[in-house]
Structure 1
Amino acid sequence: MNWKPKRSSHMTIHEQIVEWVKSRIERGDWTVGTKLPTQRQLAAQFHVNRSTVQLAFDELKADGLIESKVGAGAFVANNSWNMLLDKAQLNWQQHIESSIYKPNYHTIQLINEHERMDHIIRLGTGELSPDLLPAEQLEQSLEEISLKPKEIGYSSPQGSEKLREVLCEYLKNREIETVPENILIVSGALQALQLIAIGLLEEGSIVFQEQPSYLNSVHPFQSARMRMISITRHTSLIDNLRKFKRKRQSVFYCVPSLNNPTGQSWSLEEKKALYGACKEMQIPIIEDDVYHELAFETPVPPIKSFDTSGQVLYIGSVSKTLSPGLRIGWVVAPSPVIGRLGDIKMQTDYGSSAFSQEIVAHWISSGLYETHLIKLREQLKRRAAFVEAILERDFQRVATWKKSEGGFYIWLRFHEPIVNKALFLNLLHQNVLINPGYIYETKDLHHIRLSYAYASMQELEKGLGILRELIL
C-alpha cells in the first residue's frame, strides 16, 4: 500500500481517499466483510490529518460502501458491490424523469406502438389508409419535377420560396390574402405548435382550448410549462376569457373546421364571435385548419380570412390529404412572428425536406392536388356512410352521434360511461385499437373518436362488431 494522495490534484485530499477505497473494493482487493485499516493508520500512511480520513469514511458510509461496528472498526459493507455498480452506470431513468418534455399518456403510447402492427384493426387512427394515398401518381410526378442543385440544398429559414409563392395563390381559395414573407414552411402542423410554444409564449402562459381538444393528446404546450384551460364556446366567451386571463400571456387554440376529435365544424357566426372576443382581450388565435379540404360540402371561410389585426396564426398541412410522410405544413402569420419561428426552426432541424417541398409545390401548382382532393372526398364520403349505416343498425340503442361533415372522424357517444382503460385494453386484446375520449378530455368516459379513414370496409365492420359484443 504505497499509494498517497497528490497535493497537486484537482480533487481534494478526502475525495482522493474516497476514490482510492472504492478502487480497492471494485478490484476485489477488499471483499465484503474486509476490515479496513484504522483511521489513525491511514492518516499516518497518507501524511494527512485524521479528520481528513474521518471525512472520507463518513462519505463512504453515507454511500453504503462501508459500515462501522462498535469497538471493532470499519468493514466493507454487504451491498458495496451493488452500490458501486449503480454508481458506475449512468442513471438514464433519472435523466428521463427530470427532462422537460412530458411523457404521453400510457394509452397513447400503446396506440402509437400498436398502430404499426398489420394485424391490428385501427378504428381511431387519424391517418389516411394506404389505399387512399396517391402513391402511383406521386411516383409519376417525380419524373415531371426538374430539380436544380440550389433547390435541393438547405432552404431559407422560411422554407422554399417557390412553395411559399404557390401557397399564396392556393390560400386565396380560403379567402386568405398573404405574401411569401408571411409564410413559414414547417414539418407538419405539430411542429408549428412546438415552435409557437417555445418561440412566442413565456413559461406559465395560458393556452385556451375548446373542450374536448386534440392538444390533450399531445404535449407541446404542457411540456413548456403552460396552463391548459378548456373553454365552452357556446357560453359567454368574453366572461370566460376574462375569468382566467388576468395578466398572463395567453393564446386560444382551435380546430374550427372538422374539429379533431369531434369532426364537427363551427358556423361563420361562431368563428366571428371567437375572433371578436379574442380581439377585445388581445388574445392571439392559433387556427389549426388541416382538415378543411376534406369537407363534404363547401367549408365556411376560416377565421384568418377576416383577420384584420394580424392576431390569427393560421396552420395548414398536406399530412391529412396527400401524404403524412412528406412532413410539409405551413404557418401564415405576421412577419415578426414568421421571422422568430423561422429562426427557431433553423436551430432545430435546419429546414424541412427540400424534396418534399418541391413535390408539394408541383402538386398544388399543376392541379394534381385539387384533382386528388375531389376523388379523396368522394372515397371518404362513402366510407363515412358505410360506418354510419353500421352504427344505425347496431349502436342506435346504446349511443348517439352526428352525421359526418367530412374529414376522418365520428364522435361516438355512449349513454353509459363505459369507455375506460379496461374497455380499451379488452379491445386491444382482440386486436382492435380505439381512440377513447379520455385522451382528449381526462374525465370523458362516454366517447370514442371513431375514424373511417384508415381501416378497410371489412375491418371497420369486423372491428365495430367486436366493440358491439363487448359492450352489449
Structure 2
Amino acid sequence: MGNKYEEIIDEIQSKLDDERLKAGEKLPSIRRFAKEFNCSINTVMKAYNELEKAHLIYSVPKSGYFAVGTDMPKKQKPMIIDFVSAGPDKSKMPYRDYQHCINQAIDLYKEEMFQYSEPLGLKSLRHQLSAQLQDLQVFAPPERIAVVSGSQQALDLLVSLPFPNNKKEICVEQPTHFSFIDSITSRSIKPIGIEVNQKGIDLHYLENIFRERNIKFFYTVSRFQNPTGCSYSNQEKKHIVELAQKYDIYIIEDDYMGDLDTRRKTDPMFAYDPSGRVIYTKSFSKVLLPGLRLGLAVLPEALMNNFSQAKFAADVHTPVLTQGALEIYLSSGMFKAHIEKLRRQYKKKGTILKKAYLEHLPPNAEFTGADSGFYSTVILPGRMKAKHLVKHLRKKNVLVQDAAPMYLPEYIKENRIRLSVSQVDDRKIAAGVKKIGDGMRELADSYI
C-alpha cells in the first residue's frame, strides 16, 4: 500500500505545484483515484487525509475534496528548470519514517542518546553498518568502521593525517567536487591531477604518476563521479588497486553514490583489497536526508588511533541521536526499501536525460555520465565558454553549473557544464535540455 499511497500524494502535489490543479478546484473522487491507481479506497483516503493535514486540500461533506487557496488572482511565476541542485528529490525523502526512528531511538536508549559518546560512533551502529555494507561487497569488521559527520569529514581528516607509507602528495581525479578541492587547497597541498572522462582514465599515465611521484593516496569517486557521472568498470578498478599495491599507495574510494548502482556484479575497489590499502568512505546525504550529515569510513588498523584522535579534535563525536535513529532505520529494513525505490527513480531519470541529450544537443557537443539522475557534464562545442552559456540560459529560466571551479587551477577547463536531474521533474527534463541545446546554437554565432 505504501508505494501507491505515496504515488497519489506525489501526483496531487505535482498538480498543485504546476497549477494543473488550481485553488478551489475539485479533486477526483476517491473511487476514481482508486481505479486509476489500481489500489484500495482506503489507500486513497489515507493519502487525502495526509494532504488535508498538510492544508493542501480540504473536504466538503457530501461534495468531495478541493484544492486549498484563495480566489485572488496570483501572479504567474516563471517555470524554472533547476539542473544545479544536486540533493535527493525532496518529495522522496523519508521524513516521517526517520521521525519514527528518532522517537524509537529515544525510547530505546533514553539518556544514552544525550550523553557524550565514542569518537568513532555507537558500537551498535557500527555493527549494523558492518552488516549493511555486505550488500555493497564491502566486508569489514565493526572495529574498522568509523561513523563520521558526512563522508566529507572523513576525507578532510584523511588529507591531513600521516599515512603508513610516509608519503606526502595526493593524486586526484580531474574534475572533482568542490569540497575535496577546498580540503586540499586550504592546506597548501599541491595535488597531482589526472583526467577522468567517459572512457575512464589513462591507466598508463596513472602508473607513471604512481611510479615517479611521492603519492600518499589516490582519491577517486568510483561510481557516478561528481561532476562527470562516469563510473569505472570492474577491470579498471582491479587494475588501479594492483597499481596501488605495486607502488605502496593508498586509495580513498568515495562511494557515496554506490547505493544507486543498478548494474549487477559491479564491485567497489575495496572488494579487490579489503586489507586496508583501499580506504572506503560512504555518505547517506545523497540517498537519505542531507541535513543528517551522516557517513562512514572503513579504515586500516594502522590509521585507527590517529583518525580517532583527529575525529575527537574535530567534533568529539557525530550526534548520537541521529546515529541511533540510523541504526533503527537500517535494521528495520526501511533503508533497503527506500533505496530500491530511489534506484528505479534515478535510473528512469538517467534514461530520460540521455534520450534528451541525443535528441536536442548540437551534434558537435558531447556529454558524459547520464546513467544516474545525479551528475553528468556537457562538453560545449567549439570555443564556447561555460560561463557565457550559464548566463544565457539563466535568462531562459534554466539553471546549469559552470564546471570550471571543479578543476584544480592548473587543470581547468572552461567549456563544461554540470547537470543534475535529481530534483527536476521527469516531465521537465527534455524541455530543459532542449533549451540548453537551443542556447548553444544561439551563442555559436558569437564565436564565429
Shorter-chain TM-score above 0.5: yes
**Alignment pair present for 1:470 and 2:436:** no
Aligned to 1:235: 203
Over residues 372-402 of structure 1, what are the superposed CA-to-partner deviations in whole Å (9 max), with x where a residue is unaligned?
0111111112222222332232115242335
**Alignment pair present for 1:124 and 2:81:** no
**Structure 1 residue corresponding to 2:424, chosen from 430, 449, 455:** 455
User: For 2:183, what is the secondary structure of its paired residue?
Assistant: coil
Structure 1 unmatched ranges of 5 or more: 1-117
**Alignment pair present for 1:136 and 2:96:** yes
Q: Is the 8 A contact 1:203 1:226 kept in 2?
A: no
**Alignment pair present for 1:261 and 2:227:** yes
Whole-angstrom distance in 1 between the partners of 2:113 and 2:90: 29
- What amino acid does structure 2 have at the position aligned with 1:449? R
Largest Rg, 1 or 2: 1
Aligned to 1:205: 168
User: For 1:154, what is the secondary structure of its paired residue?
Assistant: coil
- What amino acid does structure 2 have at the position aligned with 1:252? F
| 1:432, distance to aligned residue in structure 2 (A) | 3.3
**Alignment pair present for 1:177 and 2:139:** yes
Q: What pairs with 1:48-447 in structure 2 (closer than 5 Å)?
A: 121-145=81-105, 146-200=108-162, 205-214=168-177, 218-232=181-195, 233-236=201-204, 237-243=206-212, 245=213, 248=214, 250-298=216-264, 300-307=266-273, 309-402=275-368, 404-406=370-372, 408-441=374-407, 442-447=411-416
Runs of 4+ in structure 1 off by over 4 angstroms are 201-204
Whole-angstrom distance in 2 between the partners of 1:172 and 1:368: 17
- What amino acid does structure 1 have at the position aligned with 2:141? V
Q: TM-score, normalised by structure 2?
A: 0.72
Whole-angstrom distance in 1 between the partners of 2:279 and 2:373: 22
Percent of paired sites with the same residue: 26
Whole-angstrom distance in 2 between the partners of 1:330 and 1:132: 23
| 1:126, distance to aligned residue in structure 2 (A) | 2.4
Over residues 149-195 of structure 1, what are the superposed CA-to-partner deviations in whole Å (9 max), with x where a residue is unaligned?
11332220111111101011111222222222211111111111111
Structure 2 unmatched ranges of 5 or more: 1-77, 196-200, 442-448
Q: Is the 8 A contact 1:204 1:226 kept in 2?
A: no
Q: In structure 2, do the counterparts of structure 1 residues 196 and 403 end up closer, same or farther at CA, with 3 Å as the change threshold?
A: closer
User: For 1:220, what is the secondary structure of its paired residue?
Assistant: helix
User: For 1:230, what is the secondary structure of its paired residue?
Assistant: strand
User: For 2:321, what is the secondary structure of its paired residue?
Assistant: helix
The RMSD of aligned alpha carbons is: 2.6
| 1:258, distance to aligned residue in structure 2 (A) | 1.7
- What amino acid does structure 2 have at the position aligned with 1:235? L
Q: What pairs with 1:9-48 in structure 2 (closer than 5 Å)?
A: none
Q: Is the 8 A contact 1:152 1:355 kept in 2?
A: yes
Over residues 314-339 of structure 1, what are the superposed CA-to-partner deviations in whole Å (9 max), with x where a residue is unaligned?
10111111111110001101233122
Q: In structure 2, do the counterparts of structure 1 residues 395 and 195 end up closer, same or farther at CA, with 3 Å as the change threshold?
A: same
Q: TM-score, normalised by structure 1?
A: 0.69
- Which moves more between the two structures, 376-385 or 456-465? 456-465
User: For 1:200, what is the secondary structure of its paired residue?
Assistant: coil
